[in-house]
A and B are shown apart, each in its own frame.
Chain A
Amino acid sequence: MQIHPKKIILLGIIALFTFTGCASDKAQGPTAVKPVTEKAEKVFKGKIAGKSNKAKSISIVVGKGDKAKTVMLKFDDNTKGLEFAKKGSAAIIKYDIKDGEKFATIIKPKLAKLPAGVTEIKTEELRGLYENNADMTVIDARPASRYAQARLPGAISIPVPEMKMGKETVLPANKEQLLVFYCGGPT
């Protein structure tokens, strides 16, 4: 068969570890709850649940909590941004209705927005800070179970709910100290 055996390894891993992406939390933001009027562009925002090149289908989870549902869309060679339809990634899919089926036209990644006054740090810069023993606190914002499995060197665990409840008691006393927050990445 044409599927490479390594694919199953990847899939197994995906199933075993539900990734918690940085952008996933953003769906709760004000942009996601804007009512979409009939005339507005047809669009889904959410997390890609799967993509099949053979069936030319993408499924995306839209909505939060009890209202979350999986929607399936078709795509073809004219669909733009297919590279962003990666399982686990947050994406925005524009679509049309063709022959009663939803047809993806443009797929864009849903990017996490940084709060004002906060800047992004990339892997190599962070690595450099570690090498230089920089005075910093690295904080893992994922659920405690994910932190337990694999974390960055010396990172402490403060999942979002804990941060909301515990406030500064969970952070270093010195407010000048560098804080680096991370989670499961955009994918």
Chain B
Amino acid sequence: MSTTNAGLAKKLGYKNIRVYLEGEPAWSEAGYPTYTSKGFIDTGNIVLIDLRASHKAVEGRIKRAVSVPYDDLEDKINDIPRNAPVILYSDDKEEATDAVDDLRSDGFKHVALVPGNYAGWVSAGGAIETGPIASTEIRWQRILGKGEVSVADFKKATDGGDPDVFVIDSRTEEEVAELGIFKNTVNIPLDEIPGRMNELPKDKKIYVHCSTGARADMAYQELKKNGFDVKFLLLNIDEAECDCEILRP
């Protein structure tokens, strides 16, 4: 990608070309700030946080922003969904970059700043809203990725409420023996799936799960390649969100 562009630029006669092969992930990992764009702030599936003092947010804030003054950030950090892209702005450059640091050190992977902070947004003609803030609740819903089944649909199937679904537990036999298995679920360890496809119904939907979703994703790829109507659960089944009934050994 970057190397392709660099090659094209070289052909066009540019003399001084470098490629930052490690790219944006390395930049973020090194703790340096990244910036987002207006379109993403307007319509992206993000959590937008106004770090300024709350009276400033009342006077005027970026549309959709939630007010979390920087002094409160540490207390509220667990209210911010960890999978969400988090966009921050302030009226103090240092405070904004400190907040990026705080979130990243706490494990947030996708944190970026509004270019030029609040003033930059206003001068770029971005949409603002004013007046009292009705709710300080941070709301965000992850959009399911390709091939993912929703927790609700998955739970319905393991509860026996969807006879058109065949559920596979792709963990090892040892894990199942130790931890139990969901109801209405068949254990086929990931490495046995390629050899046991004849056991799977072609006329039903297949949901695959494992302990976190990593193996289920691989099983999904393999089954999809073989023409099955398949989805996988990307979720740590230990989490409270997955409140599926377990048959204990």
Contacts and interface: CB of A to CB of B under 8 A. Distances in A.
Nearest to A158: B5
Interface in A111-140: 112-124, 126-127, 139-140
B37 A12 contact: no
A1 interface: yes
Chain A interface size, under 10 / 10 to 19 / 20 to 34 / 35 or more: 35 or more
Nearest to A112: B3
A40 B171 CA distance: 35
Contact of A115 (B7, B13, B36, B175): B7
A22 B23 contact: yes
Nearest to A125: B18
Interface residues of B, number: 75
Interface string A7-26: 11111110111011110111
Interface in A27-57: 49-52, 54-57
A181 B6 contact: yes
B183 interface: no
A142 interface: yes
Contacts of A171: 9, 12, 14
B218 A72 contact: yes
B16 interface: yes
Given A7-B212, A70-B225, A183-B24, A127 B30 contact: yes
A152 B18 CA distance: 15
Contacts of B23: 22, 182-186
Interface stretch (B50-58, B105-113, B126-134, B155-163): B105-113
A65 interface: no
B175 A54 contact: yes
B212 A11 contact: yes
B85 interface: yes
A93 to B, nearest CB: 15
Q: Is the interface of A mostly helix, strand, loop or mixed?
A: mixed
B2 A181 contact: yes
B10 interface: yes
A153 B33 contact: yes
B190 A181 contact: no
Contact of A114 (B3, B15, B82): B3
Given A9-B107, A22-B1, A180 B25 contact: no
Nearest to A164: B8
Contacts of A69: 225
Given A55-B190, A185-B22, A118 B40 contact: no
B231 interface: no
Interface string A156-187: 00101001100110010001111111111111
Given A55-B172, A148-B40, A179 B234 contact: no
B140 to A, nearest CB: 11
A127 B217 contact: no
Nearest to A70: B221
B218 A118 contact: no
B83 A59 contact: no
Contacts of B13: 168, 175
Given A25-B4, A118-B19, A181-B6, A149 B36 contact: yes
Interface of A: 1, 3, 5-13, 15-17, 19-22, 24-26, 49-52, 54-57, 59, 69-70, 72, 74, 87, 112-124, 126-127, 139-142, 146-153, 158, 160, 163-164, 167-168, 171, 175-187
Interface of B: 1-10, 12-28, 30, 32-37, 39-40, 44, 82-83, 85, 107, 109-112, 142-143, 145, 148, 170-172, 175, 179, 189-191, 194, 210-215, 217-218, 221-222, 225, 234-239
- Which 4 pairs from chain A and chain B are nearest by CB? A185-B23, A8-B236, A115-B7, A182-B20
23 contacts: A5-B238, A8-B234, A8-B239, A13-B83, A22-B19, A25-B3, A54-B175, A112-B19, A112-B21, A115-B7, A116-B10, A126-B27, A142-B1, A151-B37, A152-B27, A153-B35, A163-B5, A179-B6, A180-B17, A181-B18, A184-B25, A185-B25, A187-B25
